[in-house]
A and B are shown apart, each in its own frame.
Chain A
């Protein structure tokens, strides 16, 4: 899945060298847009044929019109930036906090054993349930959404950092010990780089979760953002508007995921993406 979405340098070279062979070796590539076109056509036809009212299910053409209109009037763009900045700020906080706390927990056994029950309790708590409380504490502005986004995306990072730092093979540790390496040297030269594939798997989940957190925050109480826009459209039964915002959101989600994939390939060239933990 991820391999098909992310364009690797080798894939580019193959495509440029021999486009026909490139497609022939990937028979699903032409099928993907085909399924899309067929689905849209069927949808448009069904809405028209059965005269489904637009406040239940709008036709794809109506959704497209709403999307183009919203983008042209700058209305969507402003809300889009609000949601994006909330999500990214929350993600950054979660990433830094998750990596630092995860490192401390993995390095010091006493810290781990002391904090473990609290971490389990916090992790099993549905973070979204705290969202109304966060609105009360941090207000209707951007801050509360950043906090919720950070809360939701924190645990995938934390768990992956801890697991990553602990899955070092004994051979590498023996090697460092045979050189009489200090705890810090072992951490920076072996444990941390060794954990990076896991850390990135966690960050990949976290960045998508951060958008979820921002939207949930906007649902609970906000004046701006795409989540707020969805609520407004819902109240006025502008379902085409709702659909057009959903399209924006999925574009946002996929872009962030691809961004992480590209970063991961660049930074962790030596490893295959590990399985995701704590998602």
Chain B
């Protein structure tokens, strides 16, 4: 397997609130993610999932511990990372295509070179024909797909996703999960995906990282050996149920789920 793409060692993150009290968000987190892996992180609201992702993205400083991507310490934003946020965060005055090309413009890459790539990514997320539309003309699911294309346009090797489908209705969400697996397979990226839905975490992942309530620490890493490519029928199988039950019990045992 060689060198892991991401190595997190003994990561701690504490905040000082305005009132002066110290909040420990992440405690002694260690994790290694291989290139090409799909890892989901599941935990309750407020367990530090988003904080963890933001530290990996270089958007937040860590308190103690080491975080390396490709062997290099993370000390700021990196162009080798694409991020999909909870909201699509599209720029309403830009067309779909120009939104996808935003990273190309910011990173001062050649637009002419990346334009075909952006069009190809829009095809990949099923938005061919919508290049010249504006975000307000798209549905919520379509906007989030534009955001995914944007996160991939500058060809980062790592894709960080922070509950990207949380705002979508259940059916659109399942559809988006399938789409994401297809994109992941075709684009060959490493994905770190944060969610609070246990079925979503199991359905997508090679490995599910179960985080405890605050301060977030790793309770267990569950390897999911369901065959790929996966389809929605799989969610009804006993095997799938075994995984979701196992993870749910990890939460129940600690009294975190009402």
Contact = CB atoms under 8 A, between A and B. Distances in A.
Given A185-B106, A189-B106, A178 B83 contact: yes
Interface stretch (A75-83, A169-177, A218-226): A169-177
A179 B58 CA distance: 10
A172 B91 contact: yes
Interface residues of A, number: 20
Interface in B184-228: none
Contacts of A179: 77, 79, 102-103, 106-107
A193 B89 contact: no
Nearest to A193: B93
In the complex, which range does the number of interface residues on chain B fall in?
20 to 34
A270 B138 CA distance: 12
A271 interface: yes
Contact of B77 (A177, A189, A193): A177
A43 B231 CA distance: 78
Contacts of A190: 91
B46 interface: no
B93 A171 contact: no
Q: Is the interface of B mostly helix, strand, loop or mixed?
A: loop
Given A175-B83, A177-B59, A177-B77, A193 B91 contact: yes
Given A179-B106, A179-B107, A270 B136 contact: yes
A77 B87 CA distance: 55
A181 interface: yes
A257 B93 CA distance: 24
Contact of A180 (B79, B102, B136): B79
B126 interface: no
Nearest to A271: B92
A166 B89 CA distance: 17
B106 A181 contact: yes
Contact of A174 (B85, B91, B93, B103): B85
A196 B58 CA distance: 30
A234 B107 CA distance: 65
Nearest to A267: B93
B89 A189 contact: no
Nearest to B137: A270
Nearest to B107: A179
A271 B136 CA distance: 9
B136 A178 contact: no
A190 B107 CA distance: 15
B76 interface: yes
Contacts of A176: 106
A190 B83 CA distance: 17
B134 interface: yes
A172 B102 CA distance: 12
Nearest to B154: A179
Contacts of A177: 59, 77
Interface in A155-194: 169, 171-172, 174-181, 185, 189-190, 193
A271 B134 CA distance: 11
Given A177-B59, A193-B93, A270-B134, A171 B85 contact: yes
A178 B57 contact: yes
B59, B76, B106: residue with the most chain A Cβ atoms closer than 10 Å: B106
A10 to B, nearest CB: 15
A270 B134 CA distance: 8
A172 B83 contact: no
Contacts of A268: 93
A193 B78 CA distance: 25
A196 to B, nearest CB: 8
Given A180-B77, A189-B91, A271-B92, A174 B59 contact: yes
B148 interface: no
A252 B78 CA distance: 55
5 contacts: A169-B89, A175-B102, A177-B59, A189-B106, A196-B93
Interface of B: 57-59, 76-79, 81, 83, 85, 87, 89, 91-93, 102-103, 105-107, 134-136
Interface of A: 169, 171-172, 174-181, 185, 189-190, 193, 196, 268-271
Given A175-B83, A177-B77, A179-B107, 12 more contacts: A172-B89, A174-B59, A175-B89, A178-B57, A179-B79, A180-B79, A180-B107, A181-B106, A196-B93, A269-B134, A270-B93, A270-B134
